[in-house]
Amino acid sequence: MDPITRMVAAGAAGVSGSSATYVDDVFSTFLYDGTGSAQTITNGIDLAGEGGLVWIKNRDTSAYNHCLFDTERGATKLLISNSSAYQFTTTNSLTGFNSDGFNLGSYGDVNANTLDICSWTFRKTPGFLDIQTWAGDATSGRNISHNLGSVPGMILIKKIDAYENWAVYHRSIGAGKFLSLNTTDDEEASTDIFGNTAPTSTVFTVGNHGRTNQNGNTYIAYIFAHDDQSFGTDSDEAIIKCGSFTCDSNGLATIDLGFEPQFLITKRADSTSQWDIVDSMRGLTTNKAGVGNIDNALLRANLANAELKFPQFGLTSTGFLTGANIGPNANYIYIAIRRPNKPPTAGTDVFQTLNYNGNSSTVKRPTNILVDAFFTQRTNAGTPYAIDRMRGGSQYLSINGTGLEGSAANAVIEFGNNYIEVGTLSAVNSSAYNYALSMFKRAPGFFDVVAYTGTGSLSGVNHNLGVTPELKITKCRNNTSDWVVGGSAVAGENGYIYLHSNAALVSSTNYWDGGDDSATQFGVRNTNMGSDYSGKTYVAYLFASLDGISKVGSYTGTGNDINVDCGFTAGARFIMIKRTDSTGDWYVYNTVRGISSGNDPYLLLNNSTAEVTNTDYIDPLNAGFTVTSSAPAALNTSGGTYLFLAIA
């Protein structure tokens, strides 16, 4: 049993193996609408029992500050990252810390009515974050004990009872220098701030400066770890890194973290600059060609400014890269936090079907999962599209054609924690259509999305699926090309079929380097734009079988009823089937539209025809699904071979 399946089984059984800590358990970016009245934010982070830091910023206006609350000082006590101001108490601000989030009052900075607000929550955890307070005594070289359990990578310190700028230690500039969180100042040399002494796994040092240890004042420190590899299924993964990079003469740099980040704070250290904060909830995506031409949504820790759009950074499967919009030959420091990687325990954690009637108005559609990608189909006919968080909601690809990627600001405005905000683009929200969305969350062992740039000689493309992909779907984004489907479930990695076509399987290595797929990479090949053509950008959707959650497999037709055992206990909620030995469409079924003993509505991914509702080609089965004897040759004929993806 692979580590991911083992972890899922352990969690479901409630045994000790489920005690592993994931980034999902200790960090959250949570977007919410202000209400102007009390509300509870449920983000899954245990603050009441474990303690931590909540950082909140209104995204829509510069009228509101960055507000920092923590369990050491207590609820209602507020610090501002963009100010030298001392702590003040606001009884209707953050009013309580919960076992799964926090409570808010009506205070405008954290809950202004109708405005969009972002929160970042950091749980106190060895290897991730610690918080310490102390009374200043003006002793130079004073050691402050901490419980991080590893050497800190970055420390933010604030005098809380008087005006004073923030002091920032970062391992990349050393303890003889410091930065100021609330200003654009570059690194400054001082032996009085951090005592010119590097921190250890048990203490950090302060000097006798007013920023860190003035007699009679009180201080707080937020202490962030660096590269503590005690997280994940086997407790051998890092979830946070604090480092630096230097851009080339064009302002470009590629940073290898060993993981894909979901959150970054960056600051130029050798010159004045802003403290930029980006995250994958607000639009940290991949850059189309690695040159920064997809905008990030930036908030700046040193400014109260509203969120702005700027092409700054792009994601890779193992880190991030810069665009050509930051300083040439500049040196930057950063803190990076890993993307969510906790294995799911049920199909409802990672998949949902959403049906709605379009209304041609921008609207937030509630979801039960955090959506990373979806296929949208119109039940009353229309082109199906693929949209995902990785590429940004403004980018869309038609599934039943070979066209290049389209771009429209009115497609998906935002992928939220518990919603997707769709615009007025007809692909997602026209009043003339009804929509059926098959929505997927990225999760180890189940599904991953990878965006990459071809070179013509890639030895493999990194991914975060954690297991060998059984079904991989790739499409060139900036050139006309086929949707190419392969993976171990498709002729043992060598063959390919087309997602946009009903054509049969071709047993060839034209698009794949057969046998090169693994738990960390998938093989590609330089052929006709398919998966690795120099300078072309691609997206890949990767699926695998995860016990009790998903099944990628095949069956042989008999012409009679066929029970397809997927190892489920309550049947399949989503089924996609394609005949591979001959022509056959891509059939899509789900339980929201109906999988029953009677007629079962279906849509086809490879064409724009309307939903068919008057056929009974499949039936429910607790272990998976049944293909009936009335199904056509595209689903069930004697000797035919069929590829399927099923989700519980």
Co-location of 557 and 642 in the same domain? yes
**Structure-token pair, residue 89:** 């108490």
Co-location of 145 and 100 in the same domain? no
Please identify which residue in the block is written with the tokens 């069930």.
636
324 pLDDT above the threshold of 80 = no
pLDDT-derived band at 3 (thresholds 50, 70, 90) equals very low
CB within 8 A of 605, min separation 6: which ones?
Answer: 375, 377, 384, 399, 400, 499, 576, 585, 586, 588
122 pLDDT above the threshold of 50 = yes
Q: Is residue 234 part of a domain?
A: no
pLDDT-derived band at 112 (thresholds 50, 70, 90) equals very high
Residue 33, pLDDT score: 97
CA–CA separation, 253 vs 248, rounded Å? Answer: 6
Residue 10, pLDDT score: 43
Q: Is residue 66 part of a domain?
A: yes
Co-location of 139 and 175 in the same domain? yes
**What is the rounded average pLDDT of the residues 407-430?**
95
**Structure-token pair, residue 210:** 């007013």
Contact assessment for residue 473 and residue 375, using Cβ atoms and an 8 Å cutoff: no
Residue 111, pLDDT score: 98
CB within 8 A of 573, min separation 6: which ones?
Answer: 347, 351, 353, 590, 591, 592, 595, 647, 648
More confident residue, 312 or 592: 592
Co-location of 412 and 358 in the same domain? yes
220 pLDDT above the threshold of 60 = yes
Q: Is residue 503 part of a domain?
A: no
pLDDT-derived band at 485 (thresholds 50, 70, 90) equals very high
46 pLDDT above the threshold of 70 = yes
Region label for 368, one of left (φ > 0), alpha (ψ between -120 and 50) or beta (otherwise): alpha
pTM, rounded to two decimals: 0.95
At 38, which CATH number?
2.60.320
Contact assessment for residue 634 and residue 616, using Cβ atoms and an 8 Å cutoff: no
**What is the rounded average pLDDT of the residues 529-555?**
93
Q: Is residue 475 part of a domain?
A: no
Co-location of 108 and 162 in the same domain? no
Residue 72, pLDDT score: 98
pLDDT-derived band at 296 (thresholds 50, 70, 90) equals confident
Residue 75, pLDDT score: 98
pLDDT-derived band at 294 (thresholds 50, 70, 90) equals low
Residue 495, pLDDT score: 86
* H helix runs in 394-515, sequence order: 426-429
CA–CA separation, 633 vs 559, rounded Å? Answer: 8
pLDDT-derived band at 18 (thresholds 50, 70, 90) equals low
Residue 491, pLDDT score: 76
Q: Is residue 633 part of a domain?
A: yes
CA–CA separation, 558 vs 621, rounded Å? Answer: 18
Q: Which domain holds residue 165?
A: 129-225
482 pLDDT above the threshold of 70 = yes
For 369-403, write each residue's pLDDT tens digit.
999 999 999 889 899 999 999 999 999 999 999 99
Co-location of 212 and 283 in the same domain? no
Co-location of 357 and 424 in the same domain? yes
Residue 4, pLDDT score: 53
> Which of 123, 151, 171 is the last residue before a domain boundary?
123
1 pLDDT above the threshold of 90 = no
Co-location of 115 and 24 in the same domain? yes
> What is residue 25's three-state secondary structure?
helix
Residue 290, pLDDT score: 43
> Which of 55, 90, 123 is the last residue before a domain boundary?
123
Co-location of 89 and 159 in the same domain? no
Residue 515, pLDDT score: 66
Co-location of 408 and 429 in the same domain? yes
Span of 115-129, 225-239, 328-342, 508-522 with lowest mean pLDDT: 508-522
Q: Is residue 538 part of a domain?
A: no
Residue by residue, DSSP assigns 101-130 as EEEE-S-HHHH-TT-EEEEEEEE-BTTTEE
Residue 530, pLDDT score: 74
Residue 508, pLDDT score: 80
Co-location of 369 and 410 in the same domain? yes
Residue 15, pLDDT score: 36
Residue 9, pLDDT score: 45
Residue 157, pLDDT score: 98
Residue 89, pLDDT score: 97
CB within 8 A of 166, min separation 6: which ones?
Answer: 81, 84, 156, 157, 158, 180, 181, 182, 211
Nearest to 387, CA basis, from 463, 349, 440 = 440
Domain count, the chain: 5
Cβ density class 319-349: b for 16+ within 10 Å, e for less: bbbbbbbbeeebbbbbbbbbbbbbbbbebeb
Contact assessment for residue 574 and residue 625, using Cβ atoms and an 8 Å cutoff: no
Co-location of 176 and 250 in the same domain? no
CA–CA separation, 219 vs 197, rounded Å? Answer: 19
More confident residue, 33 or 516: 33
> How high is the mean pLDDT of the chain?
93
Residue 287, pLDDT score: 66
CA–CA separation, 460 vs 518, rounded Å? Answer: 9
pLDDT-derived band at 7 (thresholds 50, 70, 90) equals very low
CA–CA separation, 67 vs 77, rounded Å? Answer: 9
Residue 16, pLDDT score: 37
**What is the rounded average pLDDT of the residues 131-142?**
97
Q: Is residue 532 part of a domain?
A: no
345 pLDDT above the threshold of 70 = yes
Q: Is residue 360 part of a domain?
A: yes
Percent of residues, the chain, with pLDDT higher than 90: 86
**Structure-token pair, residue 463:** 């991914």
Between strands 521-522 and 461-462, the pairing is antiparallel
> Which of 85, 104, 123 is the last residue before a domain boundary?
123
